Structure 1
Amino acid sequence: HVLRLDDLPPSAAPDELRIAATRQAGDARQILYAFTVSYAGQAVAEGRAAVVLNTPLSA
């Protein structure tokens, strides 16, 4: 794994950075995804991301 994606070396191939995400759970307000990021066939990051959908901010 790496600390920063912008520290990866430049690549000649446009598809060397790949991101895969799988929905794990969710409802009308939020979705939880598991994701992996790979560069040149090597895993560089993985984790979970929560996406909040059109939830109004409370005052």
Structure 2
Amino acid sequence: MAGSILRHLQAAGTDDAGRRQYLYPERFRAQQEQAEHKHMREVARPAGACLTTMLREHVP
């Protein structure tokens, strides 16, 4: 995974606060964000169902 991300890296540097900053092409960033949102939806669905069940069973 790291190798594929490094292939897309356009520039790297350090900001005034000493943090590393990386610049990626907009299209690549959009694809990464879309994949992240898809993963979050997949994780949130069962977590929400678990919370609903817990509240139903334990809250009067």
TM-score (norm 1): 0.22
- Larger strand proportion of the pair: 1
Q: Which has the larger radius of gyration?
A: 2
